Structure 1
Amino acid sequence: MKKIMMVGLLLLGIALAAGGYYVFYFKPAQEVSAHNTTSAEAPVKTNVPVSPPTPKPIPDVTDYYVSPAKLGVREHPKKDAFIESVLYRGDKVYVLEKRDGWGRISPYYVYHEGEEEVAEWVPMDALLEVPPTITKQQRIETISSYIEGSDDFKQYFDVFIATTDDLIREGICMPPDFEELKGWVKSVKYGQDVYFVYCGGLKQANKIYLNVQTGKIFYR
């Protein structure tokens, strides 16, 4: 009986020893080996230079505003080319082409068959990308340049300036309307206190009268 018990205890001891070996030695060794194998198989990361994104091209500016009080529009991109029209401070233009410091603001056209093509050109250094800031004094000087040939201009300067400015702002008249007659003309029909100008044409319906004493305009 004792021998049987001793054999059982011996077998139990062997089983416990085998379990301890597996838990404390064999299994940890397997885990370490598996980790090393995985680490060895993992790809090695390298610092690969990344190209910066290509910047988007900046769109070319096409909308501009006239800076000087008056700007001659020429048939060719030359300072001595014929002036066919005039632009005024604050006028907006669309530049179709830029060449040697000049901007083309109209399509090409031909006056007569067989003649060379012409277009409307303005110097780029006379244009701004934003509307110009016009002070009160600059506005007065600009308006004055349109009507400085008016009859009795110095005597009725203030009322001429104020009325002309109002008519232009309201779209009733344009600067060329005043330049046609060099400003306000004294009326023979209505007497010394009344002056007139044509706006939009040279017919009676286009004639605007101004009473310089009251500052009021009227039509016939």
Structure 2
Amino acid sequence: MKKIIMAVLLLLGVACAGGGYYIFYYKPQQDAELAKLMAEQEKVEPIAMVEEEEEQAPPKPPVTDYYVSPDKLGVRESPDYDAFVESVVYRGDKLHVLEKKDGWGRISPYYVYEDGGQEVAEWVPMEALLEVAPTITKDERTETVSSYIEKSDDFKQHFEMFVKKTDQLLKDKTCVPEDFEETSGWMRSITFKPRNVYFVYCGGIKQANKIYLDVETGEIFYR
């Protein structure tokens, strides 16, 4: 009986010793190694994710569409302020830039007007362009449009109708600002008396290009 009790006590002692080894030595060591491994993974994974995101992000396409900022901007035949002005663009006009060179933007193909002649194109200064269309208030628009037609016959008398109908013809692209500037605005017609009619040429100086305006009714018509 004593032998059996001794054997049981011996087994209990061995079990307690094993449990103590596991609790006080082996398990803390495992926990420490696990904590170290998790800490290393937390440091490595975010870097890998950032690198992966950077590799997947496509490059931004270059900006090629711009808007005119000043009220009026000369388009020149070479990238130089001393170059000949071929045409004029206006505030808010959208331009597609084909090439950028020394602070200038080319907005047309190259042309050669004679055999062996120099290549020319249409250029505008990039400093006069915006990436976003400018906000134009009603008063600013009225001022701009009126500047095109301020030499019209009886301008002050029919100011509101002239501005309204000029703006309409510009917006629907029937006319361009140069049309009004070339004719000094609206001219009084004597063909339709007693009606109060004025006219302007848009796109040419033929009868087919002649646009009439009855300032009393606001009617725009052709002959």
User: Shorter-chain TM-score category?
Assistant: 0.7 to 0.9
1:140 Cα deviation from its structure 2 partner = 1.8
1:142 Cα deviation from its structure 2 partner = 1.1
CA distance in 1, matches of 2:92, 2:33: 72
Tell me which residue corresponds to 2:10: 18
CA distance in 1, matches of 2:213, 2:29: 102
Pair 1:27–1:77, CA change in 2 (3 A): same
**Residue 115 of structure 2 corresponds to residue 123 of structure 1:** no
1:216 Cα deviation from its structure 2 partner = 2.1
**Residue 218 of structure 2 corresponds to residue 212 of structure 1:** no
CA distance in 2, matches of 1:30, 1:80: 91
Pair 1:41–1:140, CA change in 2 (3 A): closer
* Superposed CA RMSD: 3.1
Q: Which of 184-193 and 158-167 deviates more?
A: 184-193
**Residue 164 of structure 2 corresponds to residue 196 of structure 1:** no
Question: What do the CA deviations read for 1:94-131 (whole angstroms, capped 9, x no partner)?
Answer: 12222332221122222222112111111122212211
Tell me which residue corresponds to 1:5: none
Larger Cα Rg: Structure 1 or Structure 2?
Answer: 1
Percent of counterpart pairs with the same letter?
55
Q: Structure 1 residue aligned with 2:102, among 100, 103, 126? A: 100
Aligned residue pairs total 212
CA distance in 1, matches of 2:173, 2:82: 32
Pairs within 5 Å for 1:1-220: 9-26=1-18, 28-29=20-21, 34-35=26-27, 53=51, 59-191=61-193, 193-220=196-223
CA distance in 1, matches of 2:181, 2:200: 10
Unaligned stretches of 5+ residues in structure 1: 1-8
Question: What do the CA deviations read for 1:161-188 (whole angstroms, capped 9, x no partner)?
Answer: 1211122223322222222322112223
Pair 1:88–1:22, CA change in 2 (3 A): same
CA distance in 1, matches of 2:31, 2:168: 85
Bigger share in helix: 2
Pair 1:40–1:200, CA change in 2 (3 A): closer
1:71 Cα deviation from its structure 2 partner = 1.2
Q: Which runs of 4+ in 1 moved over 4 A?
A: 30-59
Unaligned stretches of 5+ residues in structure 2: none
CA distance in 2, matches of 1:210, 1:203: 17
CA distance in 2, matches of 1:33, 1:164: 93
